[in-house]
Chains A and B, each alone.
Chain A
Amino acid sequence: MAADLETIFKQWFGEHQGLLYRVARAYGNTAEDQDDLFQEICLQLWLSIPRFEGKAKVSTWIYRVALNTALVWNRSEKNRRKHRDRFITVAPQQRAGDSQPSQEIIERLYEAVRKLPKVDTSVVLMHLDGLGYDEMAEILGISESNVGVKLNRAKKQLAQLLGGLIDDV
């Protein structure tokens, strides 16, 4: 069972590590916080795998675990971690087309997302990642119409925080 768990974890982690990293980056203010939250999400994912019943898509389910962890994550409760080196590194952009200005926009976007209320952060993150209203409603535990209301409101706040970068909200 332990070996199975490890295999599943490795497979899911390999397929969805970007999602986990984006959640950690959106909720952690500093690199250390992001690293710590990333580890916490991985731990909760590991502990939750035995409860996966296959009713939801794996990506939806992992999103739920990651966002739940981020929302109830308490910065003061990280004393059990001893690993102090950076845990994650992001390799330099692989594509020739990726320019410095685009990275600046991404960083501005993350900064703005971090300033939103925590719940709105999750709504915006899921929307940016391309999740549909039905998936978002399933993850959040609210109705699709409520998701729509929240998303519109969060997008307006985000546009304000981005100071004119977006002009259609």
Chain B
Amino acid sequence: MTFNELQKNYWQKDAAASKLVIDSDMLIREVKRNKDAFESSIFWRDFREVAIGLIMAGVFLRSASKSKDNIWIVGSLVVVAMACLYVAVFFLVDRRLQRKKEARHTDPLLACIESSLMQVNHQIWLLKNVFWWYLLPPGVGIALVFIAINVELFRVLPAKLVLPGCLSGTLFVVLIFLGVYWLNQYVVRKGLIPRKEELEAMLKNLANGGNTMPS
């Protein structure tokens, strides 16, 4: 048969004859529920990321203000608090800026795919550089606190008592930081890079007339 026959005698005939059975009240309820769930998940994601930073900043500032330790320990606690605050503000500013660039489903397909690709690229950039903006600032603060406390301990206690605790504490913190870093790189490799490649292929297809069949 010809393409026109397929189109007219089958596709369009089927489209006209098929009767969908959808409870529109149930659909509206579901759409509203999905909308609420969507907005709530965005809110709690932002809240979680920002709130954790703010809470940690508060905890460290409070510890610094209550501390009767030497100036180095107090100063280090303030550095950690500032680092946590910086991370929280970074999240907040980044989310605000990215929200303005979010893909709009009312745009032409080309523009929508470009926006989605831009967002995925930004997400990849964030996670690939997680060490510099997320781990390093509090890491420096924590290292300073750690050094200040251990210098104080070495001064009052024998080294053989302090050393095991100092080493195991260092190892624990390093492992946590490595774990967070590895998890972020895993998400980039397994989730974001394939998504980026998929969007790039679509964009290439749409913009330049690429001719790739999906595997």
| A residues at B contact (CB < 8 Å) | 6, 9-10, 13-14, 17-18, 21-22, 39-40, 42-44, 46-48, 51-52, 61, 64-65, 67-69, 71-72, 74, 76, 80-83, 87-91, 93-95, 98, 102-103, 105-106, 109, 115-120, 122, 127-130, 138-142, 146, 149-150, 153, 155, 157, 159, 165-169
Main SS at interface, chain A: helix
Distance, CA A169 to CA B7, complexed state (A): 13
Q: How far apart sit A88 and B34, CA to CA, in the bound complex (Å)?
A: 16
Partner of A91, one of B20, B191, B199: B20
Count A-B contacts at CB 8 Å: 176
- The number of chain B residues touching the other chain, given as a range, is 35 or more
Q: Of residues 139 to 196 in B, which have CB atoms within 8 Å of A's CB atoms?
A: 191, 195
| A141 and B22 in contact, given A47-B35, A48-B106, A169-B3 (Cβ under 8 angstroms) | no
Choose among A47, A91, A141 the residue that contacts B21 (Cβ–Cβ < 8 A). A91
Interface residues of B: mostly helix, strand, loop or mixed? helix
Interface residues in B1-46 (C-beta closer than 8 Å to A)? 1-4, 6-7, 10-15, 17-22, 24, 27-28, 30-35, 37-38, 41
Q: Cβ of B109 and Cβ of A65 under 8 Å apart?
A: no
* Pairs A-B, 5 closest by C-beta atoms: A141-B108, A141-B110, A91-B19, A168-B2, A68-B105
Please, which residues of chain B bring their CB within 8 A of the CB of A52? Answer: 106
A166 near B1 with CB under 8 A, answer yes
Asked if B121 is at the interface (CB within 8 A of a chain A CB), the reply is: no
How far apart sit A81 and B31, CA to CA, in the bound complex (Å)? 10
B206 to chain A, nearest CB (A): 5
Query: Which residues of chain B are within 8 angstroms of A118 by Cβ–Cβ distance?
Result: 202, 205, 214
Chain A residues with CB under 8 Å of B214's CB are: 115-118
Which of A82, A106, A138 sits near B14, CB closer than 8 Å? A106
User: Nearest B residue to A56 by beta-carbon distance?
Assistant: B106
Taking CB atoms, residues of chain A closer than 8 Å to B112 are 68, 71-72
A17 touching B30, Cβ below 8 Å: no
Contacting residues, chain A, for B116 (C-beta < 8 A): 72
On whether A155 and B35 interact (CB within 8 A), knowing A10-B24, A52-B106, the answer reads no
For residue B211, which residue of chain A has the nearest CB?
A153
Contact B6 A166 (CB under 8 A): yes
Q: Which residues of B are found within 8 Å of A150, using beta-carbon distances? A: 209
Asked whether B126 is an interface residue with its Cβ less than 8 Å from the other chain, the reply is no
Q: Is the CB of A140 within 8 A of B110?
A: yes
Instruction: Known pairs A18-B18, A109-B10; list 16 more (Cβ under 8 Å).
Output: A17-B20, A43-B35, A47-B105, A69-B105, A72-B112, A76-B191, A80-B38, A87-B27, A87-B30, A89-B21, A91-B20, A102-B10, A117-B201, A122-B109, A129-B11, A140-B108
